[in-house]
Amino acid sequence: MQINTLRIFLLALLCSVSFDAFASNEEDSSGEKFDPKAMIMHHVKDAHGFHLWDWNGHPVSISLPIILWTDNGLTTFMSSEFHHDFEGKHIVEKDGQKFVNYHEKIYQLKEGETTIAFDEEHHPINATQPLNFSITKNVFMMWVSVVVLLLIFVSTSRRYKKSENYVPKGIAKFTEPLIVFVRDEIAKPMIGEKKYKRFMPFLLTVFFFIWINNIFGLIPIINGANVSGNIAFTLTLAVFTFLITLFSGNKNYWKHIFWMPGVAVPMKIFLMPIEIVGMFVKPISLMIRLFANITAGHIIILSLMSLIFIFESIAVAPVSVGFSLFISIIEIVVTAIQAYIFTVLSALYFGMATEEDHH
């Protein structure tokens, strides 16, 4: 029953985004030089819609809803109303408010303005940025991965409820080894036999959520929604790890930070700032590691593909396709390794926070 509800939810989600093709107003000037940096940055960043492919010079894309909070309250419209313009030229008018999309950032133009202008520090002169709660590409893909994870794990738990003696069947045959791996190879050695159970839900969630988002990032047809290569996403996960470490920290942990036992008093004073900085550096390094690894992977693949257009020769194509295939295979391994590393390090920090005094 629950599975059916989820299926319907997924279908509704897919139907709520409209599928459309538009003639772009500007002609593609073929004499223009190919700019790999702009292309790569456009693909790595978040966007208000999935740009699928170009058909006879017309971009085909799936548009997503744009939800803005302006001075006049809530404003919503579909991203297709921008007609694939992200240079800030096409103006969408809603209730007398004018919006432009400049490099996937939505700006609200002030009264009587027709084009967006920037000063030397690249701050807009005649426009403001409204609060943007849009369902962007990354948000949408995150929802899809949540739904996929729910489908997998809800049906796994149903398998166990039905089975007689907890013998894994069906999809449980696939998920049980992974869950046992997280328990026996990550949680138990890092946190300890006694206390690991408290942290298992978080560790399992983080492991599978990062892994599935990394895998979705590699699918080219949905334009490689770069969810786990988004610094806000990794920041959120790292903040969770940080907060859990802080709140589960025992007396021994705080003593090691503020008044290191077993060393001379000058050394204690010297170590205190280092330990306090270390407390913050740990989650920051978690954040940057995942973000940089995944983004770097995307940039490498796109750079190899750009080589064809930089050299403007078909002879380069086999080389760059071959290399990007090779990098893609490495990236498949990296998806799992990064999920593993994030989980192991989180578990390590929890283990440090809950360690008992053995002096």
Q: Which residues bind other proteins (CB under 8 A)?
A: 185, 189, 285, 288-289, 291-293, 296, 337, 340-341, 344-345, 348
Q: Closer to other proteins by CB, 52 or 348: give it.
A: 348
Shortest spacing between CB 277 and other proteins, in angstroms: 15
User: Minimum distance between the CB of residue 292 and other proteins, rounded to whole angstroms?
Assistant: 4
Q: What does the DSSP 8-state code read for residue 87? A: B
Minimum distance from residue 286 beta carbon to other proteins (Å): 9
Can you count the helices (H) and strands (E) in the chain? 10, 10
Phi, psi of 170 (to 5 degrees): 60, -130
Q: Are 353 and 253 in contact (CB under 8 A)?
A: yes
The residue among 79 and 293 lying less far from other proteins, judged by its C-beta, is: 293
Q: CB-wise, 140 or 211, nearer to other proteins?
A: 211
| Burial per residue of 65-104, b for 16 or more beta-carbon CB atoms within 10 angstroms, e otherwise | bbebeeeeeebebbbbbbbbbbebbbbbebeebbbbbbeb
Per DSSP, the residues of 12-30 read HHHHHSPEEE---SS---T
Cβ-based nearer residue to other proteins, 11 or 41: 41
Q: What H or E segment, with its residue span, contains residue 59?
A: strand 58-63
Distance CA 187, CA 63 (A): 42
Comparison of 40 and 66: residue with beta carbon closer to other proteins: 40
DSSP H or E stretch at residue 255: helix 251-258
